[in-house]
Structure 1
Amino acid sequence: MLAGRVVVVTGSGRGLGRAYARAVAAAGAAVVVNDVDADAAAVVVAEIAAAGGRAVPVVAPVGPTATADALVAAAVEHFGRLDAMVTNAGLLRDRTIGKMSDEDFDLVLETHLRGTFTCARAALARFREQGGGGRLVLIGSPAGQRASFGQTNYSAAKAGIVGMTRTLAAEAARHGVTVNALVPVALTRMVATIPAFAEAVAAVEAGEPVPSRLREAGVGTAEDVAPLLVYLLSGAAAGVTGQALGIGGDRITVWTHPTVAAEVSREGGWTAESIAEVFPEQLAPHLQPYTPDVPAEATR
């Protein structure tokens, strides 16, 4: 589906990024593999080459503009062009807000949110230089869509990425570029920090299959997520843009955009007292859940 395409995948030395890089290479694309770990990046490049694909490494932390420019330059230097940017790089510094330092917050936002911004900007500039067309897939997370205890920094970054997706889709449409957010759910080392999934992550890393109760609830492996990425990068998804699409286990989801759930008007405006009068009956029934809706049996 991706023959002749050139794709950059940030943070692709391990986990979901590795699965993304291997999948797009298997679909025919040349890949720029990025990671801060040179050995991990080299392993993925070697795996792709061994399978008959083409890949080159760029070892650098995502966030700075210089890294984004280097990733695009590597694609052009080695493969002649750039067709897609996948902004996957990220890290965690999980703590409740009272224990979260400025450094914990800033590092996560620098990598996830600023890194997505700088890489998207560099890719869009190259797409325009090439005459238009291209794909941006920005990696989100359920933590940006629902509450995720102990992840104020990560949730803020991932929510920002989905917001960025919608705006970039509007800005890039005139250049024939699609922009979508991919919201993956997979049993990776990052998920292992969640106690309910730690045992399942260990089992998957040991080569065991994902339990059916988890797959049915929308939780699977990194390899289960990759096909949606390949689809979004392909010509078949030319009409799909501005969306947040989730995948995990046996399930694909379409996330709604924020929308008004209820409204009440009062001529002349409102006082606190008048709001208190109408809120319980006219607005309270429409308040939205904010915690994850994963079935309890999926975590046992």
Structure 2
Amino acid sequence: MVVRMTRLTTLNGRAVIVTGAGQGLGRAFARHAAAIGAAVVVNDVDAELAHDTASVINAAGGVAVASTHSVADHKQARALVDVCVNEYGRLDGLVNNAALNYSALPWDEDPERVRELVEVNVLGVIYTGLAAVRAMRSGGSIVNISSGAALGQRALGTYAASKGAVASLTYSWALDLEAAGIRVNAVCPLAHTRMVLTSERSMRNCPPDRTPERIAPLVTFLLGERSQGVTGQVIRCNGPQLHIMGQPYFKAPVLTRETWDDESVARAFTEVFGAHLEPYGMEKRLPPTLRDWLDPAAVL
């Protein structure tokens, strides 16, 4: 028997921070959270965009304040959390959405651009998350925005690595924070944002009706009480499709020897492991129905 739940997700009385909320996915997350009752801190380093999102929320009857702190700086990340606590008296939820993305083949990578991306996409998530958990006195929920690109995608090596780090961090934080009543999950979204406009293939595979607003209910569900018991999960949504992503595991067969030398390692691969090698890259690992949605410029 299937029991259908009719109670809507609500964030009444909760205070939530959304980073990178000036446009795109972050803006949709902030607006949806406010629409179902959350008091929101709209964070974006672009002051005009941050204030515009906050103004739209307030004009619609919601509650929001803007923050222009950079999550890539640990002091500013703490100050961002202080804004929420000082303004609303509490912090219940954090959406680590702020991120950079670009496309480059390995031999064309610019070290400075790599550093900037890692500082925002990895350190920004860590800095803001660490500050947030210290403020979540009565439990809470952290939603990290990862990406299916973490499985490996052409010309997105640095970005993919950063999002793989976010997924790994999610697993570890879920373990560390479970006893404190803080749940940690990650979302891998695919939506029609400004990045899609750079590629004709992206526009075909991710049409305009795949809006960021279609991802927002998943994020607000994970922030709310209806997702109690859901932690340590990486969840992918591309608009029409929603699924749990598998977590890394130790794959059988496991070969055991007292010691391994050059010859025994070579024989392990030629005689056993050759038939068990994993497909690599997102395009090879997902079923055909999901592969249709792939394109580097469309992934966030």
TM-score over 0.5 (shorter chain): yes
Count of equivalent residues:
281
Moved over 6 A (4+): none
Residue of structure 2 in register with 1:8 after alignment: 17
Find the aligned partners of 2:11 and 2:147 in 1 and give their Cα distance.
25
The one of the two structures with greater contact order (alpha-carbon pairs below 8 A, sep at least 6) is 2
Find the aligned partners of 1:197 and 1:155 in 2 and give their Cα distance.
17
Residue of structure 2 in register with 1:148 after alignment: 153
SS in 1 for 2:185: strand
Aligned 8 A contact 2:205 2:293 in 1: no
Find the aligned partners of 1:178 and 1:42 in 2 and give their Cα distance.
29
Residue of structure 1 in register with 2:64 after alignment: 55
SS in 1 for 2:49: helix
> For 1:79-128, what per-residue CA distance to the aligned partner results, in whole angstroms no more than 9, with x for missing partners?
1111111110011232111111210110000001000000000000111x
Question: Taking structure 1 as reference, are residues 194 and 255 closer, same or farther at Cα in structure 2, changes over 3 Å only?
Answer: farther
Residue of structure 2 in register with 1:265 after alignment: 255
Which of 241, 244, 248 does residue 254 from structure 1 map onto?
244
For structure 1, the 5+ residue unaligned runs are: 205-209, 211-219
Question: Taking structure 1 as reference, are residues 299 and 274 closer, same or farther at Cα in structure 2, changes over 3 Å only?
Answer: closer
Question: Taking structure 1 as reference, are residues 74 and 297 closer, same or farther at Cα in structure 2, changes over 3 Å only?
Answer: closer
C-alpha displacement at 1:268, in angstroms?
Answer: 2.4
For structure 2, the 5+ residue unaligned runs are: 1-9, 296-300
Find the aligned partners of 1:297 and 1:30 in 2 and give their Cα distance.
37
Find the aligned partners of 1:239 and 1:190 in 2 and give their Cα distance.
34
Find the aligned partners of 2:122 and 2:170 in 1 and give their Cα distance.
11
Aligned 8 A contact 1:36 1:59 in 2: yes
C-alpha displacement at 1:299, in angstroms?
Answer: 6.7
Which of 90, 103, 126 does residue 81 from structure 1 map onto?
90
C-alpha displacement at 1:149, in angstroms?
Answer: 1.5
Measured on the aligned residues, the alpha-carbon RMSD in Å equals 1.9
Within a 5 Å distance, the mapping from 1:125-140 to structure 2 comes to 125-127=134-136, 130=137, 132-140=138-146
> For 1:217-247, what per-residue CA distance to the aligned partner results, in whole angstroms no more than 9, with x for missing partners?
xxx3211111110110110111011111111
Find the aligned partners of 2:14 and 2:292 in 1 and give their Cα distance.
42
Q: TM-score scaled to structure 1, two decimals?
A: 0.88
> For 1:6-38, what per-residue CA distance to the aligned partner results, in whole angstroms no more than 9, with x for missing partners?
000000000000010011011110100011111
C-alpha displacement at 1:275, in angstroms?
Answer: 3.0
